[in-house]
Amino acid sequence: MPIKYISHVPNTVQGQAVLDNVVRTRRILKYRDNERVFDRIKRGLPLYEVDKIESVGNNPKNLVIRGECLSACAYLKDKGIKVDLVYIDPPFASGADYAKKVYIRRNPKLAEKIAKAEEQLDLAELRAFEEKMYGDIWNKEDYLNWMYENLVAIKSIMNDTASIYVHLDWHIGHYVKILMDEVFGEDNFLNEIVWFYRSGGASKEGSIARKHDAIYFFKKNENFKINTIYERQYLENPFMGSKQDENGKFYVDTILTDTINGIVNRVLPDGKIIEYNTRPVLNLSTERLDYNTQKPEGLLNILIEIASKKGMIVADFFGGSGVTAKVAHDLKRNFIHVDVGLNSIQTVRDRLKLAQAEFDIFDVKDGVALFRNPIQTMDKLKTLIPGLHNQEDLNSFWIGALNNSKLGLVPVYIPNLLDHSTKVLDMPFMNRILNEAMPDLPENIKQVIIYYIDIDDENQLKNFIKEYNNTNINIELRDLKIVLDEVVLNDYLEYELNHTEIICTKFISDRLMQKIDEYNQKKVLSFNKKLLFENNSDRKHENSIDAQNLESELNDDAVSEKKLNKKNYTPIEISEHGLELIEMISLDCTNTDGIWQSDFEIKIDKNSFVCVNGKKTKEFWNGKISYKKKPFRLKVRNIAGDETIINII
Ligand SMILES: C[S@@+](CC[C@H](N)C(=O)[O-])C[C@H]1O[C@@H](n2cnc3c(N)ncnc32)[C@H](O)[C@@H]1O
């Protein structure tokens, strides 16, 4: 349950946006007969407890917040923090389910033996597997409802002089433009910026290649001033109006945003001239962080420079790899990075640390953090409720059932953490349960369990159930957060300590080993299927239809294995000491509990090179971490991002 709801009267602007399925009531968009968005906005933004979990340096104006956009807006509003520029690149409704590649690091014992730091890595050793990161599968109406709530919340914490970029593409962009007309006003529309890219979006039969994203740019109101940036464009031949620099070279001053050929020569404050691309692409060698959908720094450079000034606050509520925060820091702005996934928070933390930024990290206590993101939490939820099993004869509302010796079968409902609208158990939702889910239950059911993340007013809700439950079935309400909180998932590190360093000797992560086992099993299975198919074809299988079916079933796996160009799948094996599963070790020599202060740290990158205290090296990790001050606590992060804190005695 949020601590409270923060009122934010959605101050929408009279717009001309008309969609057939949109009715405007009390200046709030309402889709068909969907009252739920309206009810939620009327109730206010959900303010949860927010814990500061780490300080990196000392700049409390720069914030990294793990939590949903809406709850982060509630927190900022409650603290009276307003922002000057917003860039968001929300999930695109692209129908994709994004995954993160997890890289097994070089075995440090092996590294010791090889002791040739510059040696190229053996690719076979760079074993990787994937795990789900965040989902991007929506139906349009849900997406637009969700986006509308987010835009209204974001607007409520924008300064009067602020502006906003919303980065989308052909999937949903044009609909969101209409929402923005409604929320910000058509008169405040500044431009639709096209970010064109060369790779991706290949043409499909019957269509032409889709090779651009659209960025909708709105100001909050008349007080916004654009930052006109002049760039020096050098010319081969002079023309009227061109000037000459001290070396006799001809140039013209163009406004950055007017540049049409994509390349301008930018003059840096020290007089150095660099080539600057106004059609930015991701610099793979210096920028890529293996974060799906990562945008180039060059793009954010232009956007932030145009719409903000030094010292202003630039916020990104769907921050991902942290491109906005990083560029804002480079351009001497303050930043607020928000993302619901822990992987994003870890990626941006390390990225900003490398960039020497100082910031505080906060965690919104909304119950979805346990498994690092809502998708993985959802995947695991079923296994966390002892005795829960699938029960085919129940309709899909019920996730399964428990067997109770006295009550018999007890159906269980769990809210969908991926859909924040189902997280709050309130009277309208209970009404639906009573009228839609309960009457369908088999006659012998005596009790059901309804889990919730948030509950509106428990007593009121219980009275409501008493009054309107027309069945003989008892409804038990349970807090899902208690289930989540009770789960302790720690990794285990064995180490030796001397006066200057910690020597790691063994690392065990059951949760990671489980993922690796699952991955190995899947791979072995697909190889066995392939072998079976090859044997069958060798024997000139009599029933060619069977062979064809098997072939198409194997198609995906076979193609990917061909790519690997290997005859056999060698399962990922982890050494006995398991140190190759460690991504980071941080030592806190300041605090014995509470907010983490990383005084010394090493991070092992995906190529197994170590970063020592935010500085990259070309060394492989030797299993040790040095310190100059006695540490109280040690934090170890495994390669999938799970963190464990260990007190040093
Ligand atoms: C398209 S990615 C952003 C990529 C980013 N611009 C970059 O360059 O790395 C969208 C991000 O939104 C996050 N996200 C999804 N739903 C969210 C929500 N309700 N609140 C905050 N973040 C959310 C996802 O975890 C993901 O990192």
How far apart CA 201 and CA 203 sit, in angstroms, is: 6
Assess contact for 376 and 417: CB atoms under 8 A: no
Residue nearest to atom 7 of ligand 1 (CA): 294
Instruction: Give domain status of residue 242, yes or no.
Output: no
Instruction: Give domain status of residue 216, yes or no.
Output: yes
Residue nearest to atom 25 of ligand 1 (CA): 341
- Same-domain status, 539 and 419: no
How far apart CA 320 and CA 614 sit, in angstroms, is: 20
Q: What is the pLDDT of residues 529-581, one digit of tens each?
A: 777 766 666 555 445 544 455 445 445 444 444 544 455 677 788 888 899 99
Assess contact for 192 and 215: CB atoms under 8 A: yes
For residue 196, count other CB atoms closer than 10 A to its CB. 11
How far apart CA 53 and CA 633 sit, in angstroms, is: 14
- Same-domain status, 215 and 312: yes
The predicted structure's pLDDT at residue 81: 98
Task: Give me the CATH number covering residue 436.
Answer: 3.40.1340
Q: Ligand 1 centre and the CA of 274: distance in Å?
A: 32
Cβ of residue 149 lying under 6 Å from some atom of ligand 1: no
Residue nearest to atom 27 of ligand 1 (CA): 320
The predicted structure's pLDDT at residue 455: 79
How far apart CA 524 and CA 569 sit, in angstroms, is: 7
- Same-domain status, 424 and 531: no
How far apart CA 103 and CA 63 sit, in angstroms, is: 28
DSSP assignments along 78-101, one per residue: HHT--EEEEEE------SEEEEEE
Assess contact for 76 and 336: CB atoms under 8 A: yes
Q: Number of folded domains in the chain? A: 4
- Same-domain status, 185 and 334: yes
Q: Ligand 1 centre and the CA of 50: distance in Å?
A: 19
Token readout for 495 is 């180490």
User: Of ligand 1's atoms, which has the minimum distance to the CA of residue 146?
Assistant: 19
Q: Which domain holds residue 523?
A: 519-564
Instruction: Give domain status of residue 260, yes or no.
Output: no
- Same-domain status, 87 and 71: yes
* Strand bridging mode 609-612 / 600-604: antiparallel
User: Of ligand 1's atoms, which has the minimum distance to the CA of residue 373?
Assistant: 25
Q: Kindly state the helix (H) or strand (E) to which residue 362 belongs, with its residue range.
A: strand 359-364
138, 321, 339: residue to mutate for ligand 1 pocket, most atoms within 8 A of CB: 339
294, 321, 340: residue to mutate for ligand 1 pocket, most atoms within 8 A of CB: 340
How far apart CA 363 and CA 453 sit, in angstroms, is: 16
- Same-domain status, 637 and 615: yes
Q: Kindly state the helix (H) or strand (E) to which residue 461 belongs, with its residue range.
A: helix 458-468
Instruction: Give domain status of residue 369, yes or no.
Output: no
Cβ of residue 623 lying under 6 Å from some atom of ligand 1: no
DSSP assignments along 122-158, one per residue: PGGGS-EEEEEEEEE---HHHHHHHHHHHHHHHHTTE
- Same-domain status, 390 and 472: yes
Q: Ligand 1 centre and the CA of 372: distance in Å?
A: 13
Assess contact for 376 and 396: CB atoms under 8 A: no
The predicted structure's pLDDT at residue 340: 86
User: Of ligand 1's atoms, which has the minimum distance to the CA of residue 134?
Assistant: 25
- Same-domain status, 204 and 291: yes
Cβ of residue 91 lying under 6 Å from some atom of ligand 1: yes
Q: What is the pLDDT of residues 567-614, one digit of tens each?
A: 567 778 888 889 999 999 999 999 999 999 999 999 998 888 999 999
Cβ of residue 231 lying under 6 Å from some atom of ligand 1: no
10-residue stretch averages of pLDDT, the chain, 649 residues long: 75 46 50 64 86 94 95 96 97 62 74 43 51 63 83 95 95 90 90 83 74 93 87 78 85 71 61 67 78 90 93 97 97 96 91 96 77 63 81 85 90 79 77 86 91 82 89 89 70 92 93 80 76 64 48 48 56 86 95 94 90 92 92 93 89
Instruction: Give domain status of residue 433, yes or no.
Output: yes
Cβ of residue 164 lying under 6 Å from some atom of ligand 1: no
What residues contact 7, with CB distance under 8 A and at least 6 apart?
Answer: 44
Assess contact for 104 and 131: CB atoms under 8 A: no
Instruction: Give domain status of residue 109, yes or no.
Output: no
Instruction: Give domain status of residue 272, yes or no.
Output: no
Q: Which of 311, 331, 364 is the last residue of a domain?
A: 364
Q: Which of 343, 364, 385 is the last residue of a domain?
A: 364
- Same-domain status, 158 and 304: yes
Starting at the edge strand found earlier in the chain, the sheet holding 501-508 runs 492-497, 501-508, 624-626
The predicted structure's pLDDT at residue 563: 47
| C-alpha to C-alpha distances, 205 to 72, 486, 556, 559, nearest whole angstrom | 43, 52, 21, 21
Cβ of residue 146 lying under 6 Å from some atom of ligand 1: no
User: Of ligand 1's atoms, which has the minimum distance to the CA of residue 322?
Assistant: 9
- Same-domain status, 89 and 211: yes
Cβ of residue 181 lying under 6 Å from some atom of ligand 1: no
Instruction: Give domain status of residue 581, yes or no.
Output: yes
The predicted structure's pLDDT at residue 317: 98
- Same-domain status, 318 and 385: no
- Same-domain status, 311 and 446: no
User: Of ligand 1's atoms, which has the minimum distance to the CA of residue 167?
Assistant: 6
Cβ of residue 295 lying under 6 Å from some atom of ligand 1: yes
The predicted structure's pLDDT at residue 410: 93
For residue 452, count other CB atoms closer than 10 A to its CB. 25
Q: Ligand 1 centre and the CA of 157: distance in Å?
A: 19
